[in-house]
Chain A
């Protein structure tokens, strides 16, 4: 283990930590995002409203910060689901091969063939009423997790196949180590590396899907703000308020950046072969 953590991991983790802290602390540090002030509509950033107001006079700073709770929640939850489902399945398929591989491959094919949008619509609106008990956030996260695990699993499977026959592993097996121990200690770290990068993108993808749903009118109902919803609203007023899109957009960008820095940083950390060629 290197003495200093890789630079991008440090930066990424710091950014992500800051975002998470802001999101968690939202109710205490910001104004009420649902508060309408009809005579303060579409005001540019000022002393009283740091990030301006939206079309209903709501404070943008509050909406962006509270929006982070939902959007970050969706993103991280979705990535977590995807990892939890995808990693074991991919590892099993790639390492054990045989029946496991066949089963997992069939499963991935079935899920891939399934129209994602239909799944989204089904879970969001068409489901039984008990499903409405689960918050909208979780539902979107579940959907993305249920479909987003496939690239992770497939990639991990490929890596396990490749590395399973490598010299390092053969040597470890020859020295008497059990198959699982070999898998975890030798194969997993290097196989995991690019997977983490993919997982980081899953966070961005989840938030993006939420934005798309808001655009189509299926997003989280009011008054809960989400970055995707804010961006969809901003489209209506594009000529009268640059701040309506700029700040949620910037928040989204910073999140994607942070997650990817963390992903790449973790990869740099875990990959024993890292370093310049």
Chain B
């Protein structure tokens, strides 16, 4: 928990140190748009900008302990509201893409490890590297052009179609699901590629290990050894790695959210950073930090459960 507060404090100081204030216009500047000095001073006081960073942080902290995340500098809505309305979408997107990545990476890595050096293995490897090399904004565009522009199978962007208000609940759910397909694909393919190579590497390495040789000596086929022992051994570091992908929850999906016009936390985060919107940034840091710590905890638990040696240590 201390870690979280330390991190949020650093974030607070970082924002304050950054040149630029939340006041002032965005990239558009019109002649005639000027705030008087008095008005400016009043606003600075409103945003606690006249206080030193640690004082501002202290104010935030005391509000937090009372359960109040404060109000966004940008539109004065409560931070909890601004984060809350996007949280569901982002969590859904990230969880689904993680599950997809795991679901495909495991069998793929497994099959590749079964016959290292075979054509399948090389093809899978090549495909993985190709996937990994394609930047997300490109993949998104290509998928949009093919699935929406040419084939008209899937919606282009956003969360719902304009006609969805005329559909019943089942229709709306399916509409939402359809809108999720491409973004989830885009979010998952990079980690999918990476994880599948990782699974393969771990399995091959373990294949030469003692417990495996013993099992093989007992006459079990390679496949069943792979599944029984390999999965278990690979599963744990896999989970660890997967948990490390969790911090991407907040900032990592910004490109997908931009290309597919999804109102998620990634975009909120980037926009707030540009707008120096301290309360929102602190709130998001708290959230991402909590999610990260949770992920690490889960991974460590999984590790301890599966690998008895770690439990002993």
Check: A126 CB closer than 8 A to any chain B CB.
yes
A residues less than 8 Å from B213 (CB atoms):
277
- Pairwise interchain contact A151-B285, C-beta atoms closer than 8 A: no
Q: B134 contacts A117, CB within 8 Å? A: no
Q: Are A109 and B296 in contact (CB under 8 A)?
A: yes
A103 CB to closest chain B CB, in angstroms? Answer: 12
Chain A hits for B129, CB < 8 A: 204, 253, 256-257, 260
A109 close to B293 (CB less than 8 A): yes
Contact A277 B293 (CB under 8 A): no
Chain A: minimal CB distance from B297 (Å): 10
What DSSP secondary structure best describes chain B's contact surface? helix
Residues B240 and A113 in contact, CB atoms below 8 Å apart: no
Q: Indicate if A199 sits at the interface (CB-CB under 8 A).
A: no
Bound CA–CA A149/B198 (angstroms): 16
Report which of A113, A116, A151, A249 forms a contact with B133, defined as CB distance below 8 A.
A249
B56 at the interface (CB under 8 A from A): no
Whether B270 pairs with A245 at a CB distance below 8 angstroms is no
Q: A115 contacts which chain B residues (CB < 8 A)? A: 11, 247, 250-251, 269, 281, 284-285, 288
A166 vs chain B, min Cβ distance (A): 8
Binding-face segment, B37-45, B73-81, B158-166, B199-207: B199-207
Whether A106 touches B3, Cβ cut-off 8 Å, given contacts A115-B288, A235-B141, A252-B133, is yes
Q: A17 to chain B: closest CB distance in Å? A: 18
Write out the residue numbers on chain B whose beta carbons fall within 8 Å of the beta carbon of A118: 11, 14, 251, 269, 273, 281, 285
Residues on B with beta carbons closer than 8 Å to the beta carbon of A193: 201, 205
B208 touches A273 (CB 8 A): yes
From 35 to 68 in chain A, residues with beta carbon under 8 angstroms from any chain B beta carbon are none
Q: Nearest chain-B residue to A256 (Cβ)?
A: B133
Chain A: number of interface residues, binned into ranges? 35 or more
Most buried by A among B133, B202, B241, B274: B133
Q: CB-CB < 8 A to A235: which residues of B? A: 137-138, 141
Q: Kindly list chain A residues whose C-beta atoms are within 8 Å of the C-beta of B269.
A: 115, 117-118
Least Cβ–Cβ distance between B141 and chain A, in angstroms: 6
Rounded to whole Å, the gap between the CB of A204 and the closest CB of chain B is: 5
Segment of A85-93, A178-186, A209-217 in the binding face: A209-217
Instruction: Considering the complex, give the chain B residue whose CB is closest to the CB of A190.
Output: B205
Given contacts A126-B14, A275-B208, contact A228 B135 (CB under 8 A): yes
Q: B127-154, CB under 8 A of A: which get 1 and which 0?
A: 0011011111110010001000000000
Residue of A nearest to B19 (CB): A126
Interface residue B123 (Cβ < 8 Å from any Cβ of A): no
Output the nearest chain B residue to A117 by Cβ-Cβ distance. Answer: B251
Residues of the A chain whose Cβ atoms lie less than 8 Å from the Cβ of B197: 197, 201, 260
Say whether B240 contacts A154, CB under 8 Å. Answer: yes
29 A–B pairs (Cβ distance < 8 Å), ordered by A: A109-B293, A112-B244, A112-B296, A113-B4, A115-B251, A115-B269, A115-B284, A115-B288, A117-B251, A117-B270, A118-B11, A118-B251, A121-B274, A122-B14, A155-B241, A161-B313, A165-B309, A194-B198, A194-B202, A198-B198, A208-B132, A228-B135, A232-B137, A235-B137, A245-B138, A249-B138, A255-B133, A257-B133, A277-B213
Nearest 9 interchain pairs by C-beta: A113-B289, A117-B251, A126-B18, A277-B207, A273-B208, A253-B133, A211-B135, A256-B133, A252-B133
Further 15 A-B residue pairs, CB within 8 A, beyond A216-B255, A256-B132? A106-B3, A109-B292, A109-B296, A114-B7, A117-B251, A118-B14, A118-B269, A161-B310, A193-B201, A194-B202, A208-B133, A212-B135, A257-B126, A271-B208, A273-B209
Hey, which bits of chain B sit against chain A, CB under 8 A? 3-4, 6-7, 10-11, 14, 17-20, 116, 125-126, 129-130, 132-138, 141, 145, 190, 194, 197-198, 201-202, 205, 207-210, 212-213, 216, 222, 225, 237, 240-241, 244, 247-248, 250-252, 254-255, 258, 269-270, 273-274, 281, 284-285, 288-289, 292-293, 296, 303, 307, 309-310, 313
